[in-house]
Amino acid sequence: MTTDEVVISATRTAEPIGQSAASITVLTREQIERSPYPGGHQLDDLLRSVPGVQPATLSSRYNHPTAQSVTLNGLGTRRTLVLLDGVPLNDGFGGWINWGLIPNDIERVEIVPGGASNLYGTWAMGGVIHIITTPPAEGTGFKVDSQAGTLSTYQQALNARYGTDRFRFSIGYRWFHTNGIIPVPAYQQGPVDRTNDSRHELLNGRLAWLPSSRTTLDLSGSLFREDRTFGTSLSLASRTIGNIALGLHSDQGQGGRWESKLFAQWQTFRNQTSQITPSPLLRLAEFRNLIQTIPSNDFGGSLQWTGSLWGPDRLVLGSDARTIIAQATDDLFSSGGFTGQTLARGHQLGWGLFGEWILPATERLTVTPSLRADWWKNYNARSESPTATTVFRDNTVQVVNPKLSANYVLTENVRAGASIYQGFRAPTINELYRGFGFSGFSFLPNDQLRPERLTGTEVKLEGNLFSDRSFSWRLSAHRDEVKDQILFLTQGPTAAQRQNVGRTLSTGGALDLSYQVAPLLSLSFGYAYVDSAITSLPGAQDREGKRIPNVSRNQLTAGMTGGRSDWVTVTVMARYLSRQYTDDLNLQPVADFVVLDASLQHELRKGLRLVLNGENLTDRHYIATQTGSIKTLGSPLLIMGGIRAEY
């Protein structure tokens, strides 16, 4: 990535990366295709190679949908906005990331850590990850990716496109299946345990109409269906998700541009859990204890204008809105027999206005002030049970989040950047009203939750060691303090409830190195350190100083890619993640581990390639997470081979 190339996530408009104060990482199409994780549904696995990015330690291919997440700057899960072509991938109901909705035709991925509520509102308190797919183009094209491997794992993906100078369309389809492994370690297994198999299908399409050289109307949509089991016959989940997006882009000349987008998503999520008997640790039998059905609707839109006041500057003004309507119906069972039904539902509506001025103050200094005002409301919320009905009070939140950034070019090859910002995150409907359980452990909602408020700073120093820019480096650091952060606080041996924590603090830094040793060999290395802890919790001082769950202090990544793309290429990736904890009391540690992955590709002829990918090549058995007393193993050794054809 050179300083002349552009990104759009950091400022909601095209901006040369060398002018941005943010510590931006860009994964290109070539990097993605050469990696062991080329599929869109594998993106969370690929992001583990980026210092400072911590997805859930268990791959989304094996993980429960509600546990699929990503953390930036150590702020914890559900605080990073993930966009797919400008549309949120964060589930509107629960905030988790729907990684399976990502198609295989990824053009690039932009990763921007640090507070971004100044432009994106509640979903982006910890940063933004923007996934940009390949737009339909003129001409015809076809791509097939067919792979099979161990653990009865299969992946078939098809993409086709056709376009003229005015009309262009593309269509894609992916089918994935794996038997997985028995997720419980051998020393905890019992007769009830089985593999955590997973399968999904994704159909996606995109249509573009260009009525003029300056205007594009873009229509896209997808249909996603998945079925999963979670290590026992009665622990199941399925989802059906349909979405559609309509975008209009119009260039006005002299840097002026109008952009608008509307999106809608419809989802039905079914979740079944079981009770292990006689206890979670003595796993002799199970019976169904809950069937949960959650239909949800998610609608939103945005309007944005980009222009100039006096020439080299850029002004961005815009507004966006999003509304979520959801309901959770629980069918309750005891010893397998139906005992009753409960219901929880709620509506959430958010609206924001934002503005940003990208000002080249001098030839070397770019200053970017920005501001966003948000209005959020929770309403029409209620819960029903056989014995009572509760109507929850409506709640309205109004917040303003500023940010000031500066980027200074010290020399031709060295740049410095700094930002100071505020952010916020409103609790989701899921956090407010939905409870759930796993392996005899209950997680309780809390309708009294308050929004989180963030105050943070970030600095960076980056550059190129040589004039040919073959060796790039970056040092970055951040300090983020959160008031009223929402965490699960343990209530006893079998339950935890979401509560606001007085204050938490996340401080850390990262080092990124990239070296193009020769035309046929490139190396990369990264290290990230983050200390995220509870600093104040009135009434529960025993938790002060405890680390934020699901955040590791130390992260090391290393990579090597060698060979010629028209013959043979080899990519090797290694990563280390230090100990983390899955609970607020830090009594459930997840030990550190090292994982080695690789990809070997051979081009038979132009457009036809043999692919051999390996994950966890040393077959390291490590714990990825823990719920109550039950541990879950991480991703196993997986070897996949196949053919990739494109013309």
- What is the pLDDT, as a whole number, of residue 637? 97
- What is the pLDDT, as a whole number, of residue 2? 47
What is the identity of the amino acid at 130? H
Distance (Å) of CA 152 to CA 182, 196, 602, 639: 14, 12, 24, 10
Q: How far is residue 505's CA from residue 482's CA, in Å, rounded to a whole number? A: 6
Query: Are 606 and 567 spatial neighbours (Cβ–Cβ below 8 Å)?
Result: no
Q: How far is residue 472's CA from residue 24's CA, in Å, rounded to a whole number? A: 13
Chain segment 559-606, per-residue pLDDT in tens: 999 999 999 999 999 999 999 999 999 999 999 999 999 999 999 999
Cβ neighbours for 449, distance < 8 A, ≥ 6 positions apart: 427, 431, 432, 486, 498, 499, 500
Cα torsion 7, 12, 15, 18: sign: negative
Classify domain 6-646 at the CATH superfamily level. TonB-dependent receptor, beta-barrel domain (2.40.170.20)
Cα torsion 226, 227, 228, 234: sign: positive
Q: How far is residue 611's CA from residue 644's CA, in Å, rounded to a whole number? A: 7
Query: Are 401 and 422 spatial neighbours (Cβ–Cβ below 8 Å)?
Result: yes
- What is the pLDDT, as a whole number, of residue 310? 86
| DSSP per-residue string spanning 4-66 | TSEESTTTSS-EEGGG--S--EEEEHHHHHHSS--SGGGHHHHHTTSTTEEE-SS-TTTS-GG
E-strand stretches of 308-425? 314-334, 337-360, 365-384, 389-391, 395-411, 414-425
**Which residue positions in the chain have pLDDT lower than 70?**
1-4, 439-440
- What is the pLDDT, as a whole number, of residue 220? 98
- What is the pLDDT, as a whole number, of residue 279? 86
- What is the pLDDT, as a whole number, of residue 440? 67
> Coil, strand or helix: which one is 629?
coil
- What is the pLDDT, as a whole number, of residue 86? 95
Query: Are 224 and 202 spatial neighbours (Cβ–Cβ below 8 Å)?
Result: yes
Distance (Å) of CA 160 to CA 84, 163, 217, 301, 513: 19, 11, 20, 28, 37
- What is the pLDDT, as a whole number, of residue 439? 65
Query: Are 424 and 454 spatial neighbours (Cβ–Cβ below 8 Å)?
Result: yes
Q: Computed over its alpha carbons, how large is the radius of gyration of the chain?
A: 24
Cβ neighbours for 213, distance < 8 A, ≥ 6 positions apart: none
Q: pTM for the whole thing?
A: 0.96
- What is the pLDDT, as a whole number, of residue 209? 98
